[in-house]
Each structure stands twice: as C-alpha cells, then as structure tokens.
Amino acid sequence: MLHLRATEVMSGQHHFVDPALGAAGDQACYFRLTWGGPATEILKPLRRAPMRYAAEGIIYFAGLTADDTPCRGTISIDYARDHKIVYELDLEVAGASYRFHGEKVDVRPWRPLELAKTHTTCYGTLCAADGRIVSRSVVHFLPASLPAFVRSFRLTLGAAASSSA
C-alpha cells in the first residue's frame, strides 16, 4: 500500500484563560508534527469525506511545558463538508493529561486567494483531562516554512510510513 507523510510546523501565541493557571498575556506556543497514512485518504474528498491521518511530534506552550513536549493524535482535512482542518493532539505535562484542539476554518481550495489566511491560521484550545479550558491560541504556518514542508512530503510503498518527528 502507498503511504503519504509530511512534517508541518506552526507557531504563534497562546494565553491562559484563568490567571490562576499561568501568567497573563500572550506567550509563545508552537508545534511540529509529522502526519501521514494511507495515500488513498486523498480520494476521500471525492466522496465528500474528510481525510484523516495519524500525527505525532512536539508541542510547546510557554508557562506550561518546560520544553518541547511529545504529542500525538490526528489531523483531519475536510475540504468538502466542513471546510476545515482539525488537529486533535494529546500531551502530558508533569503527570497531567491535556488535549489540544486546533482548527483551520473556512478552508476552500477553490478560493485560492483566501488560502493564504485560511490554510495557514489555526485557532486552538488546550483543555485539561476534565475538559476545563486551560489556554487559547492562534498559530500560523509561516511562509518561510513552506520549502521545508514541501520537501518533507514522502510517498512510501509497503507498511505504514514512519511518523517520527
């Protein structure tokens, strides 16, 4: 079976929603994910279904993670129905579990002039295991990272592509 793999980097700012959770104001955050899976996923939009890929890598939230923190989850790309790209990433910090939910919204490939914003801006929420919102963020795919992103695309034949970040 043919498998697709790519590595994506997004960076921006986050803020804690409750001052008791961390320092007030915007702070740095970013993630680097390698995502991929069966190349046949790219055919799903023809059936109006989202493409779904496994993802793993590192994530950083200043004031919460001490350094790059391992994360894993999924990326769903839905151009046909919901017009969004959704990141669901699980991470652990000091024994506590968190989930990052990020969305690129209004992603419509047939509107190429809008893609410069919609395909590069991800609005995120970091929640604790109990569902409590810890942080909100906006991260961007920076134009300078485009060459590395394009070079990261791989098609491999055989077992699932390695997704080591």
pLDDT digits 0-9 by tens, 113-128: 888 889 999 999 999 9
Going from N- to C-terminal start, the domains of the chain cover 2-15+37-155
Residues 6+ apart with CB under 8 A from 146: none
Q: Give residues with Cβ within 8 angstroms of 50, minimum separation 6.
A: 44, 76, 77, 78, 80, 81, 82
Residue of 100, 87, 92, 83 whose CA lies nearest to 35: 87
Half-sphere exposure of 55 (CA within 13 A, CB side): 27
- pTM over cut 0.85: yes
pLDDT one-digit tens code per residue, 1-45: 899 999 999 999 999 998 888 888 999 999 999 999 998 888 887
42 vs 3, 12, 38, 46, 86, CA distance in Å? 10, 28, 8, 9, 16
